[in-house]
Structure 1
Amino acid sequence: MSNIGPTPSEIRAYRTENSKLRERDIAKNLGVSEAALVAAEVGISAVRIDASPNRMLERAPELGVVMALSRNESAVHEKIGVYEKIEIGERTSLTLGENIDLRIFNWVWAHAFAVTKTDGDTVRRSLQYFDKSGEAIHKIHLRPESNLEGYERLVADFRLEDQSQEFTAEVFTKLPSGRKDGFDVAALRDQWSKMTDTHEFFGMLRKLDVDRCAAVRAVGEDFAWKLTDGVIAEFFQKSVETQVNLMCFVANRGIVQIHTGPVSNIQPMGPWINVMDPSFHLHLRMDHIAEAWAVRKPTKDGHVTSIEAYDADGEMIIQFFGKRKEGNAEMAEWRSLVESLSTTSAAEAA
């Protein structure tokens, strides 16, 4: 392979030789982005299409029932349903469907492909969206019951003139998340205690220039307490036992994907813990979780409690809430579940 990186034909050859590896692992081994892997198949099994999320949202209902997939480095969140209750915005758009519930940050989406994979008699079709660095943002996978004609119309309408196999990744400049130390803890506690809505949290962190994980660590045990290592497995076990209606959030820089409802079928496998329910699949790398916290935020309807898991860099991997409608108090059974989880003492957490 050349010094400037593998060519599309070299990428395809390596992919064929290592077909059992996951795409993210193939990309990592080659030193390219996941989008570069897909681009190398343009004209073979992939078509470059318009990457506008709003244009996709306007047409996605035509696909019928599909699987929506969003992931970060440590968690894969899959929901089966239809794109509905869509709200188009200039910078942020939403879907508020019963199953597919998304918050989309439009400016991040930069590249897209329609991908067709054939495995024996099985044909798998998907729409795949990436940021300018080639990181995957969102994928829509067709299912046997999906509207194939609607998919083919969409691909034809979205097809770009540029059908090159080359992919040039641009560096995605990460926005600073705030100070990890040296901030005023008293001011943090004061502002935290005055919140009346959970959505005020991000504004508070920006105003105080405080990193999210650092704020959780510093605010004090009346607002956040550290949970023991491995607590997420305990959390899932208790969620199944109680059948509590929870909300599960997985995000990357371009999207937040949400599941609302109980979970039932939990399957550990190696470092992964998997939820394999009829319309919700979650794959979570437990070994990537460096710390987990129970977090309490004041609102006009009383405290709202969440579980937050962070990686070794202090980046959020996954977040859980109890199902709650604006104007209603938090469910007692959710709060009881969170407060029953194994904790780490303040001395150990320090």
Structure 2
Amino acid sequence: MNIQAVRGPAEIRRARSENPKMRERDLAVALGISEAELLAAHLGQGVTRIDPDVSRILPALEAVGEVMALTRNESAVHEKVGVYEKITVGAQHALVLGRDIDLRIFPARWAYGFAVEKRAGDDVRRSLQFFDKAGDAVHKVHLRPASSLYAYQKLIEDLHHEDQVSPIEVQADKIVDEVPGDVLPAANVLRDRWSAMTDVHQLFGILKQLKLTRHQAVHLIGEDYAWRLEEDALTTMLHQAVNGEVPIMCFVGSSGCIQIHTGAIKTVKPMGPWINILDPGFNLHLRTDHVKELWAVRKPTKDGHVTSMEAYDADGRLIAQFFGERLEGQAERPDWRTMVENLPRQASGQVA
């Protein structure tokens, strides 16, 4: 069977059987369908549909114990091992603020959920996978040897969806987080509001009011607040963070979840177009060839300015964001600030 755009569950299952080693995400792309549709075609065959109700999922996950949490976008995969704990759930946002698993969740984006069991020889790999209305993954949870199988099975039972037969229908358009306005505001309007910030989280409200994307804002704000770095400065930064023992914060987001690592990193390895952090409890896989713009960004706070590194793809979408490790109310680490400020800058007016 040629891999081509297919929709029927039987055709999808046949393509899966003919490509047993192909990753689900890659197979879905090859078939011209979403990853959620690929899973839905296997309902009753190692796949169970569950209710994607964040207010019920998160407390149930805490009981499962140690797991691996995974959040990705088109260009970066962020994996953390830990326990879902210190959970707060609201209508618009949910938080997981555990020592290892640190998430910002947008419940309205969680449209489909599945429990997936895959056999690999004598082993069974179990996961919970959640998707947005376009069928793109927002968050995945992979069980580990220390996970509670009883709590996992009870979660599936409690969240069991009434329809375990019908294919799902996803929306054609991808979920877009930022919609730019038709007209850019004057730079001084953005600068006035930016310079008055006392907390980095205020930037979201400023951009929303001015109908700006984050990518537009860094272009508009001026070089005292944001400056272009050479794209390979991201890899340089990671190696310097290892060598200088500078603990970092690494943010990677999907349409429905932002996942954060905080702490030192030990092992950074390139592999083809990927740069990888391969540490116990934390893995990052990032496509450096997707990084078309890399920016250092300075934001004022009541504790002094905070410096981030922001990687954008060809469409101006944020791939990943990095900070020095910092607690609320603390000044920025001087070693992180010095490191970022001394990374190679792109010459003004240079066209990438």
Q: Do both proteins adopt the same fold according to a TM-score greater than 0.5, normalized to the shorter chain?
A: yes
Counterpart among 177, 194, 212 of residue 192 in structure 1: 194
2:185 is paired with a residue whose SS is: coil
- Shift in CA distance, 115/254, structure 1 to aligned 2, threshold 3 Å: same
Aligned length: 349
Of residues 313, 316, 324, the one that matches 2:315 is 313
Q: Check conservation: 1:290, 1:312, Cα contact below 8 A.
A: yes
How large is the Cα RMSD of the aligned pairs?
A: 1.7
Q: TM-score, normalised by structure 2?
A: 0.95
With over 3 angstroms needed to count, the CA separation of the structure-2 counterparts of 1:4 and 1:337, relative to structure 1, is closer
The CA distance in 1 between the partners of 2:319 and 2:183, in whole Å, is: 21
Cα distance in 2, alignment partners of residues 198 and 66 from structure 1: 30
Q: Which one is further off, 169-178 or 100-109?
A: 169-178
1:239 and 1:15 map into 2 onto residues whose CA distance is 41
The equivalent of 2:132 in structure 1 is: 131
Q: Cα distance, 1:176 vs. partner?
A: 4.8
Contact 1:245 1:261 in 2 (8 A): yes
The structure-2 alpha-carbon separation of the partners of 1:266 and 1:181, relative to structure 1 and needing over 3 Å to count, comes to: farther
For residues 267-308 of structure 1, give each alpha carbon's deviation from its aligned partner in whole angstroms, at most 9, with x where no partner exists.
211111111100101111111110100000011110000000
Bigger shift: 93-102 or 321-330? 321-330
Structure 2 Cα separation of the partners of residues 30 and 4 of structure 1: 5
1:151: which partner in 2? Answer: 152
| Matched residue, 1:109 | 110
1:60 pairs with 2:52: no
Preserved contact between residue 8 and residue 165 of structure 1 (Cα < 8 Å): no
Q: In the alignment, is the contact (CA less than 8 A) between 1:41 and 1:165 conserved in 2? A: no
Query: Could you give the per-residue CA deviations for residues 179-235 of structure 1, whole angstroms, max 9, x where no partner exists?
Result: 486431121112111111111101111222222111101211100010002111111
3-state DSSP class of the match of 2:349? helix
Q: Distance in 2 between matches of 1:215 and 1:89?
A: 29
Q: Residues of 1 paired with 2:187 and 2:304: CA distance?
A: 23
Identity of aligned residues (%): 51
- Give CA deviations for 1:163-182 in whole Å, capped at 9, x if unaligned: 01512112456355324864
Q: CA offsets, 1:252-274, max 9 Å, x none?
A: 11010000001111121111111
Q: Which runs of 5+ in 2 are unaligned?
A: none
Q: How does 1:1-350 map to 2 (within 5 A)?
A: 5-171=6-172, 174=176, 176-179=178-181, 182-348=184-350
Call closer, same or farther: CA 1:269–1:176 in 2, change over 3 Å: closer
Q: Give the whole-Å Cα distance in 2 for the aligned partners of 1:181 and 1:267.
A: 42
**Alignment partners' CA distance in 2, 1:348 and 1:166:** 49
On the 8 A contact 1:180/1:211 being kept in 2, the answer is no
Range with greater deviation from structure 2 (201-210 or 71-80):
201-210
Shift of the 233–18 alpha-carbon distance from structure 1 to 2, 3 Å rule, reads same
Shift in Å at residue 5 of structure 1?
3.6
Structure 1 unaligned runs (5+)?
A: none
Please say if residues 226 and 349 of structure 1, whose CA atoms lie closer than 8 Å, have aligned partners that are also in contact.
Answer: no
Residues 121 and 4 (structure 1 numbering): CA distance in 2 closer, same or farther, change over 3 Å? Answer: closer
Following superposition, which runs of at least 4 residues in structure 1 exceed 4 angstroms of deviation?
none
Larger mean CA deviation between 165-174 and 97-106 belongs to: 165-174
* Residue 105 of structure 1, CA deviation: 0.3
